[in-house]
Structure 1
Amino acid sequence: MTAESRVQPVSRSGVWPQTLASLPMLVILVLTLLASVGETLHSRLLEIGGATWPEYFNLRVIDQVGAPDCQVVVDPDAAVDLAVAAKQAEKSADPFADVFGDQIDREQIRASVMATSRACERQLEKWERLQSLNGPGVQAFALMETGLAQAVLLVTGNRRVLLGLMLLFCAAAATLGRQHIALRPVESRRDDRVATVSQLVANGLLTASTWIYRQQELAQADAGMPLAHLFMHDIWVTGFGILTLISLLQLRQPRGELPPGGSWPRALLSVPLYSVMCISASIQFAFHGFYHGIAVYLTMMAELSALFLNLGLYVWVGMLLARTHLPRKVFDVLRPWRLPPKWLGVTVLLLTALPTAYSGASGIFILAAGLTLYRELRRAGTSEQLALATTAISGSMGTMLRPCLLVVIVATLNNSVTTDELFSAGARVLLLTASVYAVYVFLIGGPSQGRIAPLREAVPGMLRALVPLMPYVAIFAGVILLWNVLLDRGLDEFSAPAILPLILLLVLAFERRVLRSADPDADEALQAAGMPLPTGFVSSVLRATRESSALIGALLMLMALSVSVGGLIERSGLLEMFPEQLGSVWLTLTLLMGLLVFIGMIMDPYGAVLLVNATLAPIALNNGINPLHFWVMTVLAFEMGYLTPPVALNHLLTRQVVGVPTSPESLYGSFWQRNFRFILPVLVMGTTLIAVTYLPALWDGGFRLMLGIQSAG
């Protein structure tokens, strides 16, 4: 998806179809958001109820519990006589009673009768006390709290369904929009034909795999084996079947606007990565007779449905951010300083670290703000190659800062590290990466151009630019404060998926309703077409949702197939050939670093974490590598993989929002000039990775410097 194709003027006749196309995904995202908010709100309501009414946890279910079915003993002697008579009748009817003796202890029976009476008395007193406390106030509160609990349980109990619908609906949007991630864009009819055929084959294999798995599960259920979530098989089969039909229709109706011709090698590079993974994994699974292998690992992915649904919320946040003027106004604060391109690049990397962390994954921030970042760097005089390199690196800067979702997954999967330790080490890695970037840019980026503006000019201009940002700061602070006061929760890695969409929705409402500002991406395209600029809040949300759908589909399909590839690698036994004890921590670190970078090159971060946690993490621990050291090295190696050809996912996403390079230097320069956008990120992340891998093992000071804690020895 090039920069020129990101925004297409929409006629009034096309508004309703696009609105209807956005509604299903909007419903899924809103349900996911409400479930996240509802869980926190319900927890807070329970706290308030318990603090207001000491017996609230019994009062909330008092209508479901009847009065105690017992009686208090009024005449103990009569009750004892009755119990003795019953005991005698029981013994007379028992032919073996004489074997155990026929003596009846009246005192023991009396003690039992009185103990039962006292227990009944206590139950009745508790029941009467609850009845006296069960006033209109607690009844209304309990009705609201239990109703919310049922609604939240209904949504959270069907997260698998929501994830399945999200993946399939968004995959259909990505397929219809031809926005699946590939090594190079489709530029000719041959490229389009090859890409479409590959998707047809991949979707057909997915349909066959899910169908075979469905039949096996149904056969086991008929044999009496208890199985849960059988209905999900129907969703997968139907969804992938529809994707197959879409690809078949696209094959019958090729894109006529593309030029004819094209070479076969370049066409093969246009095959979506998920198709490559699906076809290769299916062949390997079929070779081992595991025909439903992809469907099995797809089901395993659904076990972490909450995390992947949060990923959808993060992508939605990114697209909502792209619809606002906030990124441009942040750059307005920097513009009065007239920073030279190199200094601006370093500043941008530091400033983008926090938004990257809040976006949940490296690629999401690039999709949301990559175009704005690239344009501002180019406006400051940065070369095209350096601007592309900086945009790609910006997506990897904050992946270990709070509240990044990837770190939360790492801490969730194992108990050897905590999020606090990882986030603390991540801040140090961020400063190291920015420093390495600055060193390389100033050493090999050519002479620095321009001078920083004097303080008497920069400071007043910056202060003037800060004024328009104050409403945004107020919205952000207000939501955080309100969340803290009402729900007693702060902004952290657990609340971010719920808070951030609310903040961005309020920012959009403020811009469209109060400032009456237009969509920033629509300005140029619609003005050129002579059409009015969209200023509506609803239209902006629907547009962000529509764009999110295709991006979520492209990412989730890539992740789903990455999980299958990870399972294939795990089942192949290749990693089992890795010795458990290598005898040298340096050899272990070197081999692990190479494997982690390779995994990062071919898999998405979430699927890669699952694979590494099950295979490489035990090897690292058995060879004496500190768990914190290993996982920091792992996340950094993944980011290195996302910036390393031939796949280089961050570069693919950068190209998707910015477009392909067009400058003469990029097209006709030397090898260094044409590929500087790949070389610089590899140098920066590679140097940082080597430092993080070896320095903590070299000396205790390096361990404390890199990871922020004392070495374990």
Structure 2
Amino acid sequence: MISAILFGGLLFFLLLSVPIAFSLGLASVFTIWILKPMSMEAFGQATIQALNSFPLMAVPLFTFAGTIMAVGGVSKRLLNFSELVLGKLTGGLGIVSIAACLFFSSISGTGSATVAAIGVIMIPAMVAHRYSRPFATSLIAASGGMGALIPPSVIQIVYAVTAGVSVIAMFAAAIGPGLLVAIVFAIYTFIYSKKHGYTGVVRKYSAREALKISLEAILPLSIPVVVLGGIYKGIFTPTEAAAVASLYGIILSVFVYKEVKVSKLPFVAFNAVLICAPVLAIIGVSTGFGHILTIAQVPQKISAAILDITTSKILILLMINVLLLIVGTFMETNAAIILLTPILLPIVIELGINPVHFGAIMIVNLVTGFITPPVGCDLFMASQISGLKFDLLVKAIVPWIILMIVVIVLVTYIPAISLTLPKLMNLRF
């Protein structure tokens, strides 16, 4: 009865287009009011206590770092360097775009920021070199998802906090899947470009130009080395690394490149708050929601029901992947992680699957939702930048969704893709 009212209320409010955080809160309050599974005071305490978390402080800080670097000239210098190195290849501009998204992902922490920072430069450049607009736009939309795969990533922090695993281990585990996505996308871009005659950029760089571009790229390329290297070496925690990244971003954007004025910093900070505030609100309210689920023993019941159907690890992981793909299509990623992790994690642990490996599976699935209609946020961002009609972009994104499904299968059934690096680094997970 508790779960029926709780999920029924949540569905009702979502259908009314009530924001997710408010839908979770209203469904929880409604359930408490009718059945009293817990006191209202306990629900409020659980909600506030969820936000009293040191690791969660990294979310607004990384968001701010990605925001200021997106407008501070970092992406432009990464693109120039990528074009210098990869531009002459067949499909060079497309591969440059993927590489630039990969580099910028290690700074931004979010997919939409990566799409905006790289797309505003590379989509017009590809179209000017006779790439079809649907292909160029879909490439940027799909590649932007690496912003959530390559650490440091906001959704990796959210999963680590929700699942109770090491944030550092989660960062390390996501690198393999993120690089795999980049490689698969680059191979497809090369094959597609070969077929459609998209040649490389025929531009000769003087030694002076090449040196200037390379020197300008050193500082942006050093950001992930400083941030991730500091985390993995134990010099600072992920939260402290987020503060370092924010300071680095201010120094580069304001004092080195001088593309952001000091007077604009409050506005950049305000935009970062607007991006991360809904995430933090969802985290807080969903914790109280999760307490009610625990009281009703919903995770245990769902786990038992699935294991009654089959005990095959292959089939259960297949069912979970299908569920995550469907949920990712309709629900915001952080909300999906917070809601589904407490339900699905006991099932996979029962099967002997490492929680960090499952985090990689979950994140790759939900990142695919960034490019699946009707809610794909990266699709809307790319469409707005490109000026391409959304229905045309939906058709063009299909091959990229298929490629992501291939990656999902590989990450799911080959644990070494996500677990090798954490093991080599002797991380506890």
Whether TM-score is above 0.5 comes out as yes
Change (3 A) 1:564 1:688: farther
What per-residue deviation string (whole Å, max 9, x for no partner) do you get for residues 357-409 of structure 1? 43333344345555345444445544322233233223322544443343344
Could you tell me whether the CA contact under 8 Å between 2:306 and 2:316 is conserved in 1? no
Aligned mate of 1:690, from 397, 405, 409: 409
**C-alpha displacement of 1:653:** 4.2
Q: Please state which structure has a larger fraction of its residues in helix.
A: 2
1:345 matched to 2:94? The reply is yes
Provide closer, same or farther for how the CA distance between residues 297 and 469 of structure 1 changes in structure 2, counting only shifts above 3 A: same
Match of 1:704 in 2: 416
1:303 pairs with one of 50, 57, 64: 50
Cα distance, 1:287 vs. partner?
A: 6.9
SS of match in other structure, 1:435: helix
The answer to whether structure 1 residue 327 and structure 2 residue 75 are counterparts is yes
After superposition, the Cα gap between the structure-2 partners of 1:371 and 1:564, relative to the gap in structure 1 and judged at 3 Å, is: farther
Distance 1:635 1:518, change over 3 A: closer
Distance 1:360 1:326, change over 3 A: closer
The one-character-per-residue Cα deviations of 1:239-262 (angstroms, maximum 9, x if unpaired) are xxxxxxxxxxxxxxxxxxxxxxxx
CA deviation string 1:453-510 (max 9, x = no partner): 48x647664323224445x469969998xx98xxx96466342211011111112332
Structure 1 residue 638: deviation in Å?
1.6
Write the distance in 2 (CA, Å) between the matches of 1:357 and 1:458: 29
**In 2, Cα distance between the equivalents of 1:279 and 1:625?**
32
Structure 2 residue identity aligned to 1:538: V
Larger radius of gyration: 1
Q: What's the counterpart of residue 268 of structure 2?
A: 544
Aligned equivalents of 1:428, 1:490: Cα separation in 2: 23
What is the rounded CA distance, in whole Å, between the counterparts of 1:457 and 1:649 in structure 2? Answer: 37
Alignment of 1:307-706 (within 5 A): 307-336=55-84, 338-339=87-88, 342-366=91-115, 369-414=118-163, 418-419=166-167, 421-443=169-191, 446-453=195-202, 457=205, 461-469=209-217, 472=219, 490=235, 493-511=238-256, 517=258, 537-553=261-277, 555-556=279-280, 573=298, 576-577=301-302, 578-580=305-307, 582-655=310-383, 658=385, 660-661=387-388, 673-694=392-413, 696=414, 703-704=415-416
Distance 2:191 2:77 in 1: 31
User: 1:372/1:636 Cα in 2 relative to 1: closer, same or farther (>3 Å)?
Assistant: same
Which letter maps to 2:199?
G
CA distance in 2, matches of 1:463, 1:393: 31
TM-score by length of 2: 0.73
Letter aligned with residue 304 of structure 1: L
What aligned pairs does 1:125-164 form with structure 2 within 5 A after superposition?
none
> Equivalent pairs: percent with the same residue?
18
The residue identity in structure 2 corresponding to 1:315 is: T
Aligned equivalents of 2:408 and 2:221: distance in 1? 38
1: CA distance between counterparts of 2:63 and 2:132? 29
Q: Is the 8 A contact 1:277 1:565 kept in 2?
A: no
Deviation per residue, 1:151-186 (Å, 9 max, x gap): xxxxxxxxxxxxxxxxxxxxxxxxxxxxxxxxxxxx
The answer to whether the Cα contact below 8 Å between 2:317 and 2:412 also exists between their aligned partners in 1 is yes
Distance in 1, matches of 2:238 and 2:56, equals 14
> 1:359 and 1:437 mapped to 2: Cα distance?
20
CA distance in 2, matches of 1:660, 1:566: 41
- Residue 585 of structure 1 and its aligned partner are, at CA, apart by 1.2
> Does structure 2 conserve the Cα–Cα contact (< 8 Å) formed by 1:314 and 1:364?
no
State how far apart, in whole Å, the 2-side matches of 1:705 and 1:310 are: 26
Counterpart Cα distance in 2 of 1:562 and 1:392: 29
Cα distance in 1 for residues equivalent to 2:368 and 2:221: 37
Once the 2 structures are TM-superposed, how far is the Cα of residue 429 of structure 1 from its aligned partner? 1.5
- 2:224 and 2:110 map into 1 onto residues whose CA distance is 24
Task: Give the Å deviation of 1:543.
Answer: 3.2
- Alpha-carbon distance in structure 1 between the residues aligned to 2:128 and 2:281: 35
Aligned runs of 1:188-207 on 2, under 5 Å? none
Q: Assess if the C-alpha contact under 8 Å between 2:58 and 2:238 holds in 1.
A: no
Change (3 A) 1:705 1:378: same
* 598 and 691 in structure 1: CA distance in 2 versus 1, 3 angstrom threshold: same
Structure 2 stretches lacking a partner, 5+ long: 1-8, 424-429
